[in-house]
Structure 1
Amino acid sequence: MFVRIVKMGFHEEHINRFLSNFDAVKTSIRAFEGCQFLELYRDKTDPSIFFTYSYWKTEQDLETYRKSNLFKNVWADTKPLFNRPAEAWSVDKLESLE
């Protein structure tokens, strides 16, 4: 399993649209084959910055998602709302304490 972290910054006037779009697709993203976990975070000091954390069984599962119509539609709706380029990291989860 590995974690995908995506940092996105939005124009203030587009934040509600992003949140509405995310709400509409979050269940479909989470149900995509290989996706084991999905969360959305908002920065405490800059409310225009959001992060998604998703856990994937394999890198191929993420790549399959990124090539899917679901991702293409989500990205087409989301990208024009950005106030800066998105940043993304794929990281291996080494340890988790709950």
Structure 2
Amino acid sequence: MLVRIVRMTFQTDKVADFHTIFRQSQPVIRSFPGCLHVELLQDTANPLIYSTLSHWENAAALEAYRQSDFFRETWSKTKALFSDKPLAFSLHPVTIT
């Protein structure tokens, strides 16, 4: 499994626009092959900072999603709302025995 986190900071007057985009996009993202989970989180100290947390079967499934027309269109609309550069990273769960 692969965990993807994308941290985004929005312009004050664009948060509602982002909410609309995410509300419409979330079910579509969840239906992509290999997507196991996707949710939206808000920073406790700064309400303009949101993170998406998604779980994917593997890196290939995430990459297929990122290469889709849906992702390109949605990301284009979303990044126009940013007030700062986004931060994205992928992680693998680790079990320590």
Query: Do they superpose with TM above 0.5?
Result: yes
Equivalent residues in 2 for 1:2-81, closer than 5 Å:
2-81=2-81
- TM-superposed CA distance for 1:93, in Å, is 1.4
CA distance in 1, matches of 2:7, 2:34: 21
Helix, strand or coil: the match of 2:80? helix
Question: Please, what is the CA RMSD of the aligned residues?
Answer: 0.7
Distance 1:20 1:35 in 2: 21
- TM-score (norm. length: structure 1): 0.94
Which whole-Å deviations, capped at 9, do the CAs of 1:14-65 have from their partners, x for residues lacking one? 0000001100110000110110000100011100000000000010111100
Cα shift at 1:8: 0.3
Structure 1, unmatched stretches of 5+, are: none
Unaligned runs of 5+ in 2: none
2:9 partner letter: G
Residue matched to 2:84: 84
Moved over 4 A (4+): none
How many pairs were matched up?
95
CA distance in 2, matches of 1:78, 1:14: 10
TM-score (norm: length of structure 2): 0.95
